[in-house]
Structure 1
Amino acid sequence: MAVQLPRSFSERMRDLLGREYEAFAETYGEIPHTGVRVNTLKIPVEGLQRLAPFRMEPIPWCPTGFYTAEGARPGKHPYYHAGLYYIQEPSAMAPVELLGVMPGDRVLDLCAAPGGKSTQIAAKLQGRGMLVSNDLNAERTKALAKNLELCGARNAVVLNESPERIAAAFPGFFDRILIDAPCSGEGMFRKDEDMVRQWDESTPAKYAGMQRDILQAAARALKPGGTLVYSTCTFSPEENEGSIAEFLAGHSQFSVVPAGGTGFFSPGFPPLPGTARLWPHKVKGEGHFIAVLRREDAEGADTMAGTPPDGPSLPAAPRRENSGRTVVSRKDKAQEGRSGGRASGRNGSRGRNAAVLSEDGMMAAYAEFAAEQLGWQPEGFPILFGEHLYMSPLPREALDGLKTVRPGWYMGQVRNNGRFIPGHPLATALTPQESRRSLSLAGEGAEAVSYLKGETLSIPADRLRLAPGAAPKGYVLVCIDEYSVGWGKWQDGMLKNEYPAGWRWT
C-alpha cells in the first residue's frame, strides 16, 4: 500500500522538484530496495559472492555493496552471525565511500548508532589507525558496540558523549570525520511510516539547529587537511544545503569538494551544486544528501581552539607502570563485556576481584591465557575496566573524563580465582590461524545452527584444528566455513557452548 504523505510535505516537494515530482511521488507505492555490504575485515568481496546463498546485484556507488532480492532474508543465515556482511539500505552506503578512509587514518563517526557506517569505516581501516564511534543516545550505543564487535573491529572505541566534549578532548586530531546527522528523516518515509507520523512542518527547522551545533564541534576536532562528510536522509534544503552554507560562511578554512563524480548522484541545490543528492526516483535507494568538506588552513595560521595542528600529544607506546602495562581501573564502572551484547557501562565496583587480584595479577592471568590459547599478544594499550580487559587504540589519558562504552577490543574477564575468561568480541575478530585450537562448521549444515542456538555439540578430537603442541582440551575458536563466530570449550568429545545468550539464533 502506498505511503500517505503529509500534504504540506507533498506541496513542498512539488515546489522543489517541479516536473519531476510525479516520478518522485510514484516511488512511494514501490517496495524499498534492500542490500548487504560485504565485511572485508573478514571476507573479500569475491569470497562472499562465491558463498552467498542469495542473489547479489552490485550497488554502483559502493564496491562492497550489493542489492538483495525481496524475500532473501540474509539475516537468517549463519553467515550473518559470522559477521560476513552487514544488512544496510543501499543509499546509506554512499557517505562513507565519499569520506575516502585509508588504512592508518584516525576517523571519528560522530552520530554512529546503530553502527552501519562505523562498520563500513572499520572495514576500510583494515585494523590500522583508529575509529572513534560516538552516539549521544546511551541506549543506542548498545547496538553500535554489538555491530562493531560482530564485524570483528579491533581498533574501535565507542563513546556516549556530546560532540562538544569530544572536540575538547581531541582538538585537531582526526583525519576524517563523518556526521550522519540527526534529521527529519524525509528520505526514509517509504521505508519507515513511523517517521511520516512524527513529521510536521516545524521538524526540519528543529533539526537544522542541532546540525549547526554538531558541525561546529566537528570542525574543531578535524585536523588541517582533513575531510569531513556531512550526510542526512532528508530532502529539506534547510537541513542540507542550508546547514552547510551557514557553516561555510563562518568557517573560511573549509570548502566543498565536488561529490558528483560518481555519475549516480544528482547535484545539490544552489548555492551548493557540488554537494550530492540521491533521489529515490533516480537511483535504487532511499533519499540522501551528502556534502564533502575539506579543511585547508593557511600555513602557520592558528587552528581552532588554539591547538597545535597535529592535535593532542599522544604517547607512541603504553606508559610503563607497575608491570610495565598501561592499566585503567575505574571503580565507578564495570563492563558486562562477556556477552558482547551489553555495551553500556553500569555503576558499581570491581566486585570480589578487587580484593583478591592486583592489577598485575589480572594482567598476568591474561598473558597466560594469550600464550596458551593464541600464541601471540594482541597489540594496543591495555585498559582495565574493573575486572574486564580491553586493548585500545588510544592510551588511557585520551579517554579520561569521557563517557566510554567500549575503550577498544574486548579481551575478556579475570575471575577472582585468577582464571581469564575470553570475551565473545575477542573471538569474532580472530581468524582460525590466530587461535591454537579451532573448529570449522559447515555454513549449510545443522551443526552451525545448533551452535548458534547455544547447544552443546558432540565433536571428536580429530575434527579440531590444533597448532603444534596444543592439546585438544580448552577453549576452541568456533568458525563457520572458516570464519570465526564465537568460543566453545572442548573436553572428552564434547564442545561446551560459549555463544552468548543475547546473540543466539532465534
Structure 2
Amino acid sequence: MAVQLPNVFLKRMQELLGSEYDDFLASYDSPRYAGIRVNTLKISMDSFLKLAPFSLKQVPWCETGFYVDEQIKPGKHPFYHAGLYYIQEPSAMAPVELLEVSEEDRVLDLCAAPGGKSTQIAAKLKGTGLLVTNDISSERTKALAKNIELYGVRNAVVLNESPERIAQAFPHFFNKILIDAPCSGEGMFRKDEDMARQWERHSIAKCTVMQRDILQIAADLLAPGGRIVYSTCTFAPEEDEAMIAEFLSDHRQFEIIPMTRETGISPGRPDWLDWLYRKGEGPEFPADIASQTEGCGRLWPHKVEGEGHFFAVLERKKDGQQTDEEKYGIISSETKRNQRDDMKSKSPKRLRKAPVGDHKQSGEREQLKAWETFAEANLRAKLPGEPIMFGGHIYLSPLSKDQLDGLKVVRPGWYVGTVKNGRFMPGHPLATALTAGEVVRVLDLTVEDGEAVRYLKGETLAAEPSRIRCLDGADPKGYVLITVDGYSLGWGKWLDGLLKNEYPAGWRWT
C-alpha cells in the first residue's frame, strides 16, 4: 500500500465496515481520480464538448463534471486561464448538486476557500440572485477571491468573517447555505498523504466542536423553507451521522431530505450511532432521529470513482407565524442599529479596518464618474450591481453598503477597476467576467498559433488594426478585450500595431 495509514484509523474502519473492510483497504492501491467541472457561466456544455482539448468521462453525480487523466495537466491550457473549467476532485462536486441552487436564490457558502464550490454555485445562479462566499482564514480568502474573479462571477460578495458576525448582519436571510465543514479529512488520505500524517493533530474531537458551532449558527442564517447542505470529507461518524442527529435533536424545525441513490451515493449509517453509544463515545438518540440519518449520503472510495465524502441535506420547515425578517430576509432599522452598536462595542478596530466607502463624498463621486465615462466609451452592456468605493477601488455590488457595514469585507462585489490621476484603469476581474459582445474592441487569439500562451506569459503582441474587432466604427486605439477562441482572458491596450499586455503579473503562465 502506497499510503501509510494510521493504525488507530485502520482499527476503527475495520470495526465499522466489517465485511466491506477488505474492499475499502484495497481502494488505497487504486489511483486517485482527477476531474474538471465546466464553468457554464462562461461556456455552454455543448460548446465545451466541441472545444474540449482532452478526453472526458462523465461524473455520475454532476452533469457538468468529468473525469480526466491527471497526466494531461489540465491547468496547463489557455482554456483553464480563460476560466472555462475548474479542476476539482470528482467527489467534491456532489455537495453543490445536492443544494439544488436555482436562479434568484440567496446563497451562503460559509467555509468556502479555495472557492471551487462557490464557482459551482455561481454557475447555477447564472448571474442572478446573490452569492456570499466566506472563509474565516484571511490567508485562504486570497485564493477564494482569485477564483471568484477568474471564473467570471459578477454577483458575489467575499467575506473574511466569523459565522457569528454574519448571522448578526443577515438573520434568516439565506435560502440556501453550504457548509463544507472543517473535518479530520479521512476521506482524503489517498489524495493527500500529508492529511494521513497529520490526522491525529486534526483530531475528531477538535473538529466536532467547530462543526457543532457552525451548524448552530447556520440555523440562525437560514430562512424558513430554506436548505442547508452539510458535507465533510471524513468517515468518522462523530463528525457525520452523530453530528446531524445531535443537530436534529436540538432543532426540531429541521428535517433530513433523503437523496437519490442512482448516482452512486450510498445511504447514511444509523447503525454507527449505536456503535458510538455502545463504546461510550456518543449519546443514545431517539429512534425517530436516528432513523432519519439513513437519508444522509456517503461516497465510498471502494464503491465509486472518487474519494470519501459525507452529505446531509437539511431543510427548515416553514413556520406558521413568521416575522418579516424571517419571511423576506429584511433587517429592520432597529435591528441593524442594535447590531452595529453591539459590533462597535466588541471590535472597533475591525470596523475601521474594512469600511465600505461613502461614494457621496466629492472625491469618490469624481472617481465613480471616471468609471461611468470609461463604461460609456468601452462597454456595450448595462452591468449589474451598485457602483461603490471600497479601499480606493470601484466595485459593482449586489448588496447595499448598509448591509455590509461592520463586516470584514474582502470583495464587496465585482471588481471593475480603480482611478489613477483622474483616469479609470480597468481591473482584470472586469475583463474575465465580460463577453466579447459586451465590449467595443476585441482581439481574438487561438490556441493553435501560440499567441494565447504568449499573451498569458505577459508578452507584447504585434497586431494589425484589421485584427481588432471594433463596434460602431470605433477607433482600434484603446483598451481591447483579449479572448481565446472567443472567451475572455484579460485586457490589452492597442496602439500603432502593438498590443501592450495588461495581463496581471501574478496570474501569468509559468
What is the TM-score normalised by the length of structure 1?
0.90
- Matches of 1:481 and 1:202 in 2, distance apart? 45
Secondary structure of 2:472's aligned partner: coil
The whole-number CA distance in structure 2 between the counterparts of 1:19 and 1:377 is 61
- Match in the other structure for 2:508: 504
Q: 8 Å contact 1:260–1:275 — kept in the other structure? A: no
Decide whether the 8 Å contact of 2:356 with 2:390 is kept in 1.
no
- Secondary structure of 2:473's aligned partner: coil
- Comparing 265-274 with 369-378, greater Cα deviation is found at 369-378
* 2:173 match: 173
Counterpart residue number, 2:282: none
Match of 1:487 among 466, 487, 491: 491
Name the SS for the 1:75 alignment partner.
Answer: coil
1:396 is aligned, of 391, 397, 401, to: 401
Inter-partner Cα distance in structure 1 for 2:354 and 2:226: 37
The 5-angstrom pairing of residues 22-61 of structure 1 reads 22-61=22-61
1:365 maps to which residue? 370
Instruction: Name the residue aligned to 1:225.
Output: 225
Say if 1:371 and 1:377, in contact at 8 Å, map to a contact too: no
2:439 paired residue among 424, 435, 439: 435
1:346-495 map, 5 Å: 358-415=363-420, 417-495=421-499
- Alignment partner of 1:312 out of 305, 330, 345: 330
1:17-38 per-residue CA deviation (whole Å, 9 max, x = no partner) reads 1111111111111210000000
Instruction: Give the secondary-structure state (helix, strand or coil) at the position aligned to 1:102.
Output: coil
Could you tell me how far 1:387 is from its partner in structure 2?
2.5
Distance 1:473 1:246, change over 3 A: same
Distance 1:26 1:421 in 2: 56
CA distance in 2, matches of 1:100, 1:262: 16
Cα distance, 1:402 vs. partner?
Answer: 0.4
- Give the drift of 1:314: 8.9
* CA–CA separation in structure 1 for the residues paired with 2:238 and 2:356: 47
Tell me which residue corresponds to 1:273: 294
Cα distance per residue 1:211-263 (max 9 Å; x no partner): 00000111101000001000000000000011111111111110000023434
How do 1:74-93 residues align onto structure 2 when only pairs under 5 Å count? 74-93=74-93
Determine helix, strand or coil for the equivalent of 1:430: coil
Deviations 1:246-285 (A, max 9, x none): 1111111100000234341110011210000000000000
Question: Residue 300 of structure 1: which of 304, 321, 342 is its match?
Answer: 321
Judged with a 3 Å threshold, the aligned counterparts in structure 2 of structure 1 residues 265 and 348 are, in CA distance, closer, same or farther, namely closer
Equivalent AA in structure 2 for residue 212 of structure 1: R
Higher helix share: 2
Extract structure 1 runs of 4+ deviating beyond 4 A: 345-350
AA in 2 matched with 1:183: C
Return the letter of the residue paired with 2:434. L
CA deviations 1:37-91 (Å, max 9, x no partner) are 0000001112111111111100010000000013111100000000000000000
Show the counterpart of 2:244.
244
Shift of 1:377: 3.5
CA distance in 2, matches of 1:214, 1:436: 46
Which amino acid in 1 is paired with 2:241? E
Supply the AA of the counterpart residue of 1:46. D
Report the AA paired with residue 329 of structure 2. G
User: Aligned AA for 2:423?
Assistant: R
Contact 1:9/1:201 (<8 A) preserved: no
Range with greater deviation from structure 2 (444-453 or 85-94): 444-453
- Once residues 321 and 117 of structure 2 are traced to their aligned partners in structure 1, the CA distance between those partners, rounded to angstroms, is 34
Is contact 1:314–1:395 with CA below 8 Å preserved after alignment?
Answer: no
Taking only aligned residues, the RMSD between alpha carbons, in angstroms, comes to 2.1
For residue 14 of structure 1, what is the amino acid of its counterpart? Q
User: What amino acid maps onto 1:374 in structure 2?
Assistant: L
TM-score (norm 2): 0.89
SS of the residue 1:468 aligns to: helix
Question: 2:91, 2:263 → 1: CA distance?
Answer: 14
How far apart in 1 are the matches of 2:52 and 2:431?
Answer: 22
The more displaced of 255-264 and 75-84 is 255-264
Give 1:108's aligned residue. 108
Alignment-mate amino acid for residue 224 of structure 1: P
What do residues 321-363 of structure 1 show as CA deviations (whole Å, max 9, x unaligned)? Answer: xxxxxxxxxxx99xxxxxxxxxxx988999xxx9x97121111
Which runs of 5 or more structure 1 residues have no equivalent in the other structure?
A: 316-331, 334-344
* Separation in structure 2 between the aligned mates of residue 222 and residue 302 of structure 1, nearest angstrom: 13
Match in the other structure for 1:213: 213
Per the TM alignment, residue 444 of structure 1 is displaced from its structure 2 partner at its CA by 2.7
Equivalent pairs, count: 471
Whether the 8 Å CA contact 1:109–1:118 is kept in 2: the answer is yes
Rounded Cα–Cα distance in structure 2 between residues aligned with 1:451 and 1:375: 24
Matched, 1:289 2:310: yes
Query: CA deviation digits over 1:404-445, x for unaligned, max 9?
Result: 000000010011x21000000000000000000011100232
Q: What one-letter code is carried by the residue in structure 2 that aligns with 1:178?
A: L
Contact 1:234 1:288 in 2 (8 A): yes
Aligned to 1:339: none
1:174 touches 1:221 (CA, 8 Å); kept in 2? Answer: yes
Q: 1:41 aligns to what SS in structure 2?
A: coil
C-alpha distance in structure 1 between counterparts of 2:501 and 2:65, whole Å: 33
Post-superposition shift, 1:386? 3.5
Q: Which amino acid aligns with 1:288?
A: H
Q: Measured at CA, do residues 252 and 348 of structure 1 come closer, stay the same or move farther in structure 2, by a change above 3 Å?
A: closer
The 1:499/1:314 distance shift into structure 2, 3 A limit, reads farther
Task: Give the 3-state SS of the residue equivalent to 2:394 in structure 1.
Answer: strand
